[in-house]
Amino acid sequence: MRLIYDNGGVAAVVVPAPKFLTQLAVLDNAGNDTVTLEEKLIHIANKDLATGTKYEIIADSVDLSDRAFRNAWTYTAGGSEKTSADLTAEELAKYNMTENK
Amino acid sequence: MAIVINGSGTVTGLAVGGLPDGTVDAGTVAADVATQAEIDAKLNLAGGTLTGDLLIHKQNPAITFKPTGANNAGKLMFKDENDDVKFTLGYQDSVSAFRLSSTDINQADYIHVKTDGAVGIGTETPSAKFEVEDGGTTIGNVLAKITLDDQSSHWGFEVANDTYSTTDANGFVIQPQNDGAVGLYNKTVLALTLNGDRGLSQFTAKAWARFSSTALNDSHNCSSFVDNGTGDYSINFSNNMTNANYCPVMSSHSNMFIGTQTNPAVGVIRMGNFNDHGNREDGDYFGLAVFGD
């Protein structure tokens, strides 16, 4: 899964770092991750996008390989659009952040 | 009347039909030297071999070893079937140490607990609360040493190849720092600091990433890669840099060059990649390493 959002009139694609996704895991007693991938991407959106940014989560199956007109890609809001929120004070401290973006 | 216990264990002097009136006078028995010798022989008070298990069953059972003279030792010895001593546990008064030794309590080869509480393994003279030495066959011929020692009021972990001191070190020390970081010392010189934020010190990259135009292949301390457009990429840090005065180092595809597109920020760095005509271009192999705080 990836995130897309409007970055100055051009669609930006956010690719999560696999190690950071692992870091966001919360395991139960059986060792199973209790945090869904979508929940992790929402957390990344809250962390890496400016608060209030509109974005959508797209599946890996969405083909973005044709980059001939990459700078003409635009973000169009869909039905599952979300808005990035603030991190908590505890999360800000965890990431060595003094304020939300 | 007196009771006489003879060598065969039979009691004589009793009236036929039952015990004599009254109780046996213990003083009378003890005063009989011959009888006492018989009891000693049965109870083996002066030595011998016990063939059954020993059980002391009372509220606060205790066994005490009390030597008869100075510099003696009280000990428990463990033998094999050939009567060879394998372990000896006891107190050696001459060196004021409780010991686990090999063949004899005089051997200073295993574990020593000094009367001040210091514990030494492989040494009978621990210089700290806990000290381990590998002296081979001779204590004092030290090959390696691990000591928990007090270095500048911080408890550290010390590995030395010889006797270590803060002023004359030949070894390696791991020591907590005042700010919560961990310092690695070569002799007395701080060689490397591991910071508490899981990033490393200025000696190593605090973040790095290997990426292409569309993917983040591998990384350290990066939360996401952003494809902003052709030849336009950002890397977000997992843990922000402490300040923006860090040094980013980038590598690009052949015949292209990559550089910072905007002033680096504490949480993100944006990069632009250009071909030899000065136009933005995508690529398959980019590298980023970030040094700083």
- pLDDT tens by residue, A48-72: 999 999 999 999 999 999 999 999 9
CB distance from B227 to chain A under 8 Å?
Answer: yes
The residue ranges of DSSP E strands in B167-246, in sequence order, are: 172-176, 182-186, 189-194, 207-211, 216-220, 222-229, 232-237
Q: Which of B212, B229, B204 is nearest to B221 (CA)?
A: B204
- B267 in contact with A at a CB cutoff of 8 Å? yes
Rounded Cα–Cα distance for residues B270 and B236 (Å): 9
For β-strands B111-114 and B97-101, DSSP reports them as antiparallel
Residues of chain B contacting residue A95, judged by C-beta atoms under 8 Å apart: 238-240, 267
DSSP-H helix ranges across chain B:
26-30, 33-43
Residue B262 in contact with partner chain A when CB distance is under 8 A = no
Chain B partners within 8 Å of A20 (Cβ): 222-224, 238
Report CB contact under 8 Å: A14, B215.
Answer: no
Residue of A nearest to B224 (CA): A16
Q: What is the pLDDT of residue B165?
A: 42
Torsion of CA B224, B180, B183, A24, to 10 degrees: -20
Which amino acid is it at A26?
A: V
Residue B200 DSSP code: B
Q: Is the pLDDT of residue B154 over 50?
A: no
Domain range summary for chain B, segments of one domain joined by +: 4-43, 70-134, 143-194, 207-291
Model-level pTM? 0.58
A16, B231, B233 from B213: Cα distances, Å = 14, 7, 7
- Asked if residue A82 lies in contact with residue A42, where contact means CB atoms within 8 angstroms, the answer is yes
Tokens of B277: 């005509």
CA distance B174 to chain A (A): 25
Question: Which pLDDT band, with edges at 50, 70 and 90, does B6 fall under?
Answer: low
Give whichever of B2-6, B159-163, B262-266 has the largest mean pLDDT: B262-266
For A21-28, what is the mean pLDDT?
Answer: 92
Report residue B117 as tokens.
Answer: 């509480």
Minimal CA separation from A11 to chain B, in Å: 7
Long-range CB contacts for residues B195-198, cutoff 8 Å, separation at least 24 = B197/A96, B197/B239, B198/B239
Beta strand pairing call for B189-194 and B4-5: unpaired
Q: Please, which residues bridge with residue B185 across strands?
A: B173, B190
CA-nearest of A8, A80, A99 to A41 is A80
A96 interaction partners in chain B (CB closer than 8 Å): 197, 239-242
Task: State which of A28-32, B73-77, B140-144, B279-283 shows the largest mean pLDDT.
Answer: B279-283
**Interface touch B240/A19, C-beta < 8 Å:** no
Q: Choose among B125, B92, B124, B127: nearest CA to B108.
A: B124
Per-residue pLDDT of B168-208, as tens digits, reads 444 566 766 767 777 777 666 777 777 765 555 677 889 99
Tell me if B243 sits within 8 A of B266, measured CB to CB.
yes
Q: Considering CB atoms only, which of A15, A67, A94 is closest to B230?
A: A67
CA angle B187, B191, B195 (to 5 degrees): 130
Measured between CA atoms, the residue of chain B closest to residue A40 is: B223
| Rg of chain B taking only CA atoms, in angstroms | 39
